[in-house]
Every structure is written in structure tokens, then in C-alpha cells.
Structure 1
Amino acid sequence: MPEEWNSSELLYQSVLDALPEGILYCDTNYIVRKVNQCYASLLGGDVKTILGRPLPDLNPLTRAPVVIKNGRPEMGDLCTLPLFGDNYKFVVNRIPVRDSDGAVTGMVSHILFTDPAELRELNRKIDFLAKKLKHYNRSLKSEHNAHYDIESIIGDSAPIQAVKKLIQNYAADAHPVLILGRTGTGKELTAHALHVRSNRAAGPFVSINCAAIPKELFEAELFGYAPGAFSDARKEGKIGQIELANTGTLFLDEIGDIPLHAQVKLLRVLEEKRITRLGDVSGREVDFRLITATNRDLQDMISQGNFREDLYYRINTLTIRLPPLRARTEDILPLARHILSKIGCPTANFTDEAVRVMEAYAWPGNVRQLFNTLVHATLHQSGERIDARDLPHEVTGGVQIPERHSPPQRHHDLAAWLSAQEAGFLTAALQENQGNVTLTARQLGISRVTLYAKLKKYGIRHSAADTAVTDL
């Protein structure tokens, strides 16, 4: 150490030398004024021999002149040093130093890694994390994609044509859409089509079944939470579903089941376009298009104090009312044939009596009930065509069915029969597990990937507690 240093300077130097990373400061003439032992050794000397020397003499490739001239920092750059040649690169930060008037007075050079093995290990970890991030992004993109368009809506009846026209008109608009309809009429399919036809189609489509989330967990699921926000919270926190919908569409199915305390927070998010996670103090901007759906009478819920009136008017800018299946009887046969193809029976057909019974029935469960009915019929079918007697009793109960004159026959297409059995089995298993794919896969002894593939094959919807064919 220079003999003329006083005790405070010696202490300052001791602090610098204690750092495991290289620190160097040069003035505007590129003269080294401060350096720690770590950096000095990388330059081939010690503190005493490096101080006072021009940095370009020690490292001809130094970028100190560039940083001092333009006053812009260079962070995370890779550099070489003469002592090591081109065989090893160091990670370095170069930061301009300014006086109280803002004028540049020099530059700090900060070398982060002095051990090649340490840098290689970090690079290995970064590469591993990058691959994991890429995998998770692909998974999220697949999970948060809309899979259905207007072409997925089966039928040409006047009521369904009116729905298709509204979808086309509303898709390009940014205002919220409220979809009203009874259970099984295709509310989620309509939401998918609105997203696919919108200018946000490239963004995520995040669908949430509000009725399937426990009330005590609703805010954490929708808005997310900060690390340590509550007991049993993940130590790294959690991103909420609203944030995941950023730049895309957020679909809240069964919005009438949102708890009142969460309605207040949702209204604030819609008004301010900002979200604050539970336990966090700072908000985040969010940009999404809201689509909601319900089979409940929201105005009646408002009068009973179970739904906020201000939230109702916020989500009810545009409305689509889905017709029940009984109001579109001419679509029943095309829908039935489409469902049969989805469950592996593309060549199956119906007797005239079966068609008459299906068109006469009221279908309180709508398309979802039609799907379950056809699964039942394919499993009980004994003739070449599905007959009225193959339909469930709840469908045929009020209809007089003539005696069957043709002798019973077995299925000639084993593959179709097996597919129908599998579709019915999967549907029952999902319903038993309230639509939870993970629990269903575990119960069936197959992977989630395999189950997803089978659900897609048969057109079975798997949103929580709501399993049905996806077509209107």
C-alpha cells in the first residue's frame, strides 16, 4: 500500500480488497485512481503497481474512452484481458461516474466473475432455466389458447344464425361482452369464437369457472398474491389469472358465483386497468378484453343483494343471449351427427322414430344433455341405426314408441363401439371429479397429456365442474 495513505484510505482499500469481484475506477484521462486486489491481479499486478497507470496501457481493448465520452453505462458485457488472451471472457459492467452537476468524472469497471468454472456453471444454469422457461411458455400458450371459432358452432337455424352474426359484430370491439344462456347452450364456445375473431387473437385466452373456485381462494386465484402474503402461500408468490390474460381475453364463466368481496376488487381492476396482488403494495397495469357468462338472473341477484349493480353495468355493455336447444329443433339432427363423429361413430345414423323423439323432447340440459344421450344410445344400440328405444327413458318418457319389428343386431363396427364406450367412460369420470383433469387422470391411471388428447378426440370439454361437448 502507498505509505502516504491515512487510516481512512487504508480502511477503504481493505473494504475493496475484501470483495470477491474486481473493482476499478479511472478518471477522464483514463488514469487508474482506485483498484482492488482482485482486479489488479487480473491485470497482472497488485494494487501498488496498477494505481496511477493509464488503463489503455494495461488493457489496450478497454472501452473506458467510449463510456466516458458518451456517458452511457454498459452492463453485462463480455470482455477479454491481455493476461488471459482470447481463451476466457469476463462479464463486466462499465458505469460512468458523475459529479453533482452531472458531468462525467470517470468510469467504474466492475468484473463480476474471476473464476472460469464459476462462469461456466452460471451459464449452464442460465441455459437450463431458459429451456425450462421456453417449455413453460409453450405449455401456457397451449393452455391459454382459444380452440374454437364460429365454424365450430353447428346449426343453421334462425336463432343460431343470429348468434353467429352477433359474434362477428362484437369480436372486433373492445367492450365487455355478457353471454347469457342456460346450462349446456355453448357459452364457453361463444367466448372462444369472440376471442379468435378479435384483434387479440394472438394473445392468451384465459378461462375461469367462477363456480369451481372456493370462495376463500377466489381472490388469490384471480388477482394473485405476493410472497408471504398469507400462511401456506407459495414463497415465490403467484401470478393471478387476470395478469395471465394480459394483451388477450379474460373469460369469467358463471360470473354470478363471484363472492361479493371479490366483485369490489374486480370492478376496481376494470375501472383502473391495474391489478394489485394480495399482500402487495404496488399495482401492475393490465390490458385485457373481458367476456363473462352466466345462466343466472343477475338482475334478480342485484335485487337480493347478491350481485353489485355497478359491476353488472360494467360487464353488460354488449350482450349475447344463447337460445336453448328446444328453440332450434332443426339443428338437433346435424348436432347429433356431429357429436357421433366426435365420439368415434361417424357412420352411425338414426331411425325416423329416433329423430321424431329427439325433436319432440324439450332438452332442459341442452347440447350437454344431447351429448350424454348419444353416448348412452351408442352403448345400448342393438340395430344398425340408433332407434328411439336406444335413447334414455328421460328422453322417451312422454312419447309413444311402437314395437320394434326387426330382430336385434350387434354392432358391426367394433372400433366405433369401443370409442363410444371410452367417450362415455371419460365423461362419467370427469363429472365424478368435478371436471378436474389432474384428479381424473390419476384415477384412470393415465397421464394428463394422454387424457387431454382423448378429450380433444371426442370433443369433451374439461373446464372445472363443467364437462360437455364443446359445440353449440
Structure 2
Amino acid sequence: MNKWSVSKVFEGTESAGINQNKDIQVDENVINVLDSIFDRIPVSIILIDAYSKILMISQSFADFLGVTKEKATGKTVGEINRNTRFPYVMERKKSEIAWKHTFQNGETAIVHRIPILNRKGESEYGFGMVLFDNIEELKQIIEKNELLTTELKHYKKVLKKIQGAHYSWESIIGESEAIKEAKHFGTKASETESTVLITGESGTGKELFAHAIHNDSKRQDGPFIKVNCGAIPYELLESELFGYVEGAFTGSRKGGQIGKFELAHKGSIFLDEIGDLPMNMQVKLLRVIQEKEIQKLGDSRTVKIDIRIIAATNKNLKEQVKKNLFREDLYYRLNVMSIEVPSLKHRIADIEELSQYLIKKISRHLGKYVTGISKEAMDILKNHNWPGNVRELENVLERAINICDGETIQVKHFPIYLLEEERPAENNVRTDNRKIPDLKKSVENMEKNIIKEALYLTMGNKVRAAQELGISRSSLYDKIKEFGL
């Protein structure tokens, strides 16, 4: 086999401590193969030996230096570029990565210089590469990168507005003991990574608590994905939560679809109305909690996810468990951190502050100048039982602001069902002229008021009103006709 003998050709290598009497034997065939490879790489590269003698140089690097490959090969790097730092790099045995270097021809570039050590830890070869031979081009790339980074930050902010949580603890109005206790447990929950179960009647503000917990947690910069388990049709729920791959079922989207769980990766997912989750989906949710992974429809692979689950319900899940409508193991998995949001009737002390806040919010939204509420009107609000909670209060105030012709909400601006309610007696002393009401008439009046209230809260939607009342549509139509509604 032919060998190529290399002798000392670089002056001053005594200071580098290199043995000048040792010849380096290099396989000529290997040199030829590597040399041909060098020219196919569209980057300026060079290979030197322990004495800084050029073994190989790419055509593009030779062109950049203004020499021919034949003239450069066999010479030391110092002979073709007196500004070289390679002898220093070989002596120190430490790479110089992405250094700015000015060549003797005046060209400036960003370069790598890398010593290749043998088993004894000595510099045996040196590898050099020009990353950028045009500084202006590098500046343009940096500017484009900075622009892309700025755009990325912008779109992250936009995405957070779309997918993020919008409310904080300051959004939950009230200073009653009931609401302060709920907020206290909420702030404790935000400090953990455990699952959270928020309970409470409809309209109490459970979603606000979910938003605030996420925004106060270490996941606040991650996505906040909301899912109403009772609003998504049963047959679509699994694909919405887990996603699917292309061809998973007839009519599936080309390219498949990412599910809500995967969208919530590194963030939180809010599962509202968790009590309406079908039993087969409860099993799948339990696996997500336990295994921290999901499996898309039509896919045999699993995907690891990092999510925090916040669930909410207006149902008594303990009773649901007893009726075999909710899995007991899932209930205990969800109920690690439990928060009960109080109903409005248990926080009457907050009604005035809540009303003032809602009046400002609604007036701003409707573009009306309504600033206050009369004492008589406030007394009526404080005496109402509020079965629809804060949501009902907001509806009442929005209606009042819409028909208000001044700056102050008066009693006359309230719906009839509020005004017809009997006020609680101030004491339990029975007077002589007090009559025992007719039972049948009292029941009819109560039934009439309940139906009127249901129609108001559902904005006249008779189908929904019948569902909320637990009666058939035909029965509701009969009652509406009977009471002249």
C-alpha cells in the first residue's frame, strides 16, 4: 500500500512542543477519497496535520483565499494565511467555535477551528470550516432571526388570548366569608399540580375559579383549554378530546385532527360539567390521569402529555357514584383538591358589590350611562333567593340597564317575577288580621311564578325551559295557556 510521508514544514513549532522528527503516515487512497468528498460539500473546509500542513482543502475555500488547491496542498496554513490561529489551537488543544476572523486577503468570516486529538490526547489533525464568508449575510440572518423571534412572541401572545385563561382572583368579586374561603382553597390549589374538582350550583362562577387557578399556577404561560362535557354530542366527544388520525372513520379530516388533551400539553384543561361525561369516556379519562398519555382514534401509538386537569360540576358526584352513574375511582382521582363555590343566596353580603361591578361592566358593553341603583331596588335584589345565582343577577341587571331611561336603576326596571315575590316577614309575631291563604291558589301562583322565571332565564326558549323544569313540552304549553303567559 502506498504511503505518503509528511515532514516538518512549519517554522516555530518548537514552541508548540511538537516532535518534529516524527513523520506522519497517511493512506494516500484515504486522502484521495476525502479530497473528492471535500469538493462536493458546498462549504469552505480544510484539514491539516499536527504541524499545520494542509492535507486537504475544498475548492470553495481555495477560491475564497485566492489560491489554487494544488498550490495550497502541502503547504502550512501560515504560508497561505499569515493571520492563522491554527498553531495556537493545536497547541492549546481547545476548539474555537464561531470565531470572527480576518484573512490576509482582507476578507472577514465566521470560522470553526477544531483540533482532533489522538488516544494519547495529542493534537493529531486540525479541522477548519468557514461558517459565513460574508458578514453582511450573517447580519441579515441575525436580523431575520430577531424578526422571527419577535413574531413568534407576538403569535404566542395571540395564542394565549385565544387559548389562555382570562380571569384572575381579582375577577371574583366579594368579601363575604363564604367567597373568601372558596378563594383561599383556590389559591392553595393553584400552588399544586394535583387535579382540582370545583363544585357548585349553575351560575356561581365555577369557570372563573378554573381560570384563576390556571393563571396563578406555574402553568400560566401554557394553554388553557376549555371543554364542556355536556355540550358536545356523545358520538363526537372522544374525537374532540383525543383527536384522530387520517382515515380513522368515514368523513374524517385529511391529515387527522389534534385533540383537546394534546392541545393542553404543558398547560391546563378545564373539563366543565364533568358529571355529564359518559361512562365509557370516564374510563378513558381515568387512564389519561394515571398514565399521562393519550391514544388518538385510529392510531395504535400513544402520545405522552403533560397536563393539569381542572374539572367542574353542578351535580353531586357522590350521589352519582351511588347510582352507578359515575365511576368511584375517577371521582377520587378528580377530588384531590376540592373547592365548593358558594351560591349567591349564601353570600347576600356580596350582592351590593357584585351589582355595582356588573352595572359598570354591562353599561360599558352596551354603551349606556347607568351608574347606580336605588335603595329600594337594591333591597329587592337582597331579598331574592337567586336560584340562577350570579348569572341570573347579571341577566336581571342587563335587562334593567337596557330599559333604564336615566342613570339609576329603579324598581320598575326589574322583571315582574322579582316584584311579585312575597317579602320575608320582619318578625314572627302573628297579627289578628292575617289570613291563611288558599292552598290551591297559592300553589298555582307559585307554579306560575316558577314557569315565568324559567321562561325568563331561558330567554323564552320553551324546549329548554321544559327540560330545566323537568316536564314535557306539551305540559309546559298547557301551563302557559292555563296561566295566560
Comparing 334-343 with 260-269, greater Cα deviation is found at 260-269
Aligned to 1:79: 100
In structure 1, how many angstroms separate the alpha carbons of the residues matched to 2:284 and 2:114?
43
- 1:166–1:393 Cα change, 3 Å: same
> Residues 284-337 of structure 1, C-alpha deviation per residue, up to 9 Å, x if partnerless?
674x65432222344455567765543332221121111222232332232112
> Which one of the candidate residues 347, 355, 372 is aligned to 2:371?
347
Aligned to 2:51: 29
What is the DSSP-based 3-state SS (H/G/I as helix, E as strand, rest coil) of the residue aligned with 2:201? Answer: coil
- 1:351–1:309 Cα change, 3 Å: same
Q: Is the 8 A contact 1:206 1:250 kept in 2?
A: yes
- 1:218–1:107 Cα change, 3 Å: farther
Q: AA paired with 2:227? A: N
> Residues 360-412 of structure 1, C-alpha deviation per residue, up to 9 Å, x if partnerless?
43333211121121111111224664233322345445459xxxxxxxxxxxx
What is the DSSP-based 3-state SS (H/G/I as helix, E as strand, rest coil) of the residue aligned with 2:154? Answer: helix
In structure 1, how many angstroms separate the alpha carbons of the residues matched to 2:124 and 2:277?
59
> Which one of the candidate residues 194, 199, 202 is aligned to 1:180?
199
Q: Is the 8 A contact 2:44 2:129 kept in 1?
A: yes
> How far does residue 339 in structure 1 lie from its aligned partner after superposition?
0.7
What is the DSSP-based 3-state SS (H/G/I as helix, E as strand, rest coil) of the residue aligned with 1:185? Answer: coil
- 1:6–1:152 Cα change, 3 Å: closer
- 1:80–1:219 Cα change, 3 Å: farther
- 1:355–1:116 Cα change, 3 Å: closer
> Which one of the candidate residues 89, 96, 101 is aligned to 2:109?
89
- 1:127–1:292 Cα change, 3 Å: same
Paired residues in the alignment total: 389
Q: Is the 8 A contact 1:210 1:257 kept in 2?
A: no
Q: How does 1:6-21 map to 2 (within 5 A)?
A: 10=32, 12-21=34-43
Comparing 220-229 with 361-370, greater Cα deviation is found at 220-229
In structure 1, how many angstroms separate the alpha carbons of the residues matched to 2:88 and 2:292?
42
Q: How does 1:37-48 map to 2 (within 5 A)?
A: 37-48=59-70
Aligned to 1:162: 181
- 1:397–1:263 Cα change, 3 Å: same
In structure 2, how many angstroms separate the alpha carbons of the residues matched to 1:102 and 1:265?
57
In structure 2, how many angstroms separate the alpha carbons of the residues matched to 1:192 and 1:123?
38
Comparing 123-132 with 56-65, greater Cα deviation is found at 56-65
- 1:235–1:156 Cα change, 3 Å: closer
1:49 aligns with 2:71: yes
Q: Is the 8 A contact 1:180 1:295 kept in 2?
A: yes
> Which one of the candidate residues 317, 337, 341 is aligned to 1:322?
341
1:372 aligns with 2:395: yes
- 1:19–1:169 Cα change, 3 Å: closer
- 1:135–1:56 Cα change, 3 Å: farther
In structure 2, how many angstroms separate the alpha carbons of the residues matched to 1:70 and 1:29?
14
In structure 2, how many angstroms separate the alpha carbons of the residues matched to 1:217 and 1:111?
56
Q: Is the 8 A contact 2:370 2:408 kept in 1?
A: no
Aligned to 1:333: 352
- 1:362–1:226 Cα change, 3 Å: same
Q: Is the 8 A contact 2:46 2:54 kept in 1?
A: yes
> How far does residue 143 in structure 1 lie from its aligned partner after superposition?
5.3
Aligned to 2:463: none
> How far does residue 219 in structure 1 lie from its aligned partner after superposition?
7.1
Q: Is the 8 A contact 2:295 2:302 kept in 1?
A: yes
| Higher relative contact order (CA closer than 8 Å, sequence separation 6+) | 1
What is the DSSP-based 3-state SS (H/G/I as helix, E as strand, rest coil) of the residue aligned with 1:156? Answer: coil
1:206 aligns with 2:224: yes
1:241 aligns with 2:263: yes
> Greater CA radius of gyration, 1 or 2?
2
Q: AA paired with 2:331? A: Y
Q: AA paired with 2:264? A: I
What is the DSSP-based 3-state SS (H/G/I as helix, E as strand, rest coil) of the residue aligned with 1:333? Answer: helix
Comparing 33-42 with 302-311, greater Cα deviation is found at 302-311
Q: Is the 8 A contact 1:21 1:113 kept in 2?
A: no
- 1:30–1:394 Cα change, 3 Å: farther
Unaligned residue ranges in structure 2 (runs of 5+): 5-26, 364-368, 424-457, 459-485
In structure 1, how many angstroms separate the alpha carbons of the residues matched to 2:34 and 2:398?
81
Aligned to 1:455: none
Q: Is the 8 A contact 1:180 1:187 kept in 2?
A: yes
- 1:10–1:105 Cα change, 3 Å: closer
Unaligned residue ranges in structure 1 (runs of 5+): 401-427, 429-472
In structure 2, how many angstroms separate the alpha carbons of the residues matched to 1:216 and 1:343?
37
In structure 2, how many angstroms separate the alpha carbons of the residues matched to 1:214 and 1:45?
74
What is the DSSP-based 3-state SS (H/G/I as helix, E as strand, rest coil) of the residue aligned with 2:409? Answer: coil
Q: Is the 8 A contact 1:351 1:385 kept in 2?
A: no
- 1:209–1:18 Cα change, 3 Å: same
Please give the TM-score of this superposition, normalised by the length of structure 2.
Answer: 0.63
> Residues 433-470 of structure 1, C-alpha deviation per residue, up to 9 Å, x if partnerless?
xxxxxxxxxxxxxxxxxxxxxxxxxxxxxxxxxxxxxx
> Residues 185-232 of structure 1, C-alpha deviation per residue, up to 9 Å, x if partnerless?
11122234434555x276446242344667787778767899999853
